[in-house]
Amino acid sequence: MSRLLSVLVTLSLATTVVLAADFQLKSLDIKQPFARATPPGAKTTGVYMTIENKGKEADRLVSGSSPTAGMVQIHEMKMDGGTMQMREIDGLDLKPGATVELKPGGYHVMLMDLKKPLKEGETVPLTLKFEKAGSIDIKAAVAGMGASRMH
């Protein structure tokens, strides 16, 4: 005798999976941008990504803006006298053929004066402006609070 097994197929819609996307602006590849989720009341968070300049000319990330943040700055983190210091830089050089990683503990785009908390699974709109390539609107996936990478 064969038994008929009843297979219940459940399509789970309860789990929202946001995959960080890749973006391209001319010869710049902007890969896997993600932001860290914020605890209630927090007004700042970092956005991280990898930028590859596939072109033959140097370019430079000069500024950012977001409707979700009152101010966006480009930051660098460095050890200074035994403590990690974060400071604003006026741009991030993208040499031809080079890949620059914005990551926790290093360069990042800082969203400041956040208008609402960022929750894991959402995306946050961000405009990046480059000296030569111009501007691009991207969406950064919001990862967990302590996330050091998207996947």
Q: How far is the CB of 21 from Cu ion (least distance, A)?
A: 23
Taking the C-alpha atoms of residue 10 and residue 5, their distance in angstroms, rounded to an integer, is 15
86 binds Cu ion (CB under 5 A): yes
With respect to Cu ion, which residue has the nearer C-beta, 86 or 136?
A: 86
Degrees, nearest 5: CA angle 148-149-151: 140
36 binds Cu ion (CB under 5 A): no
Within 8 A by CB and 6+ apart from 5, the residues are none
Binds Cu ion by CB under 5 A, chosen from 75, 94, 102, 118: 75
- Beta strand spans in 66-117 (E): 69-80, 83-88, 92-94, 99-102, 108-114
Residues 97-116: x/- map of binding to Cu ion (CB under 5 A)?
A: -------------x------
With respect to Cu ion, which residue has the nearer C-beta, 36 or 75?
A: 75
What residues make contact with Cu ion under the rule CB under 5 A?
75, 86, 110
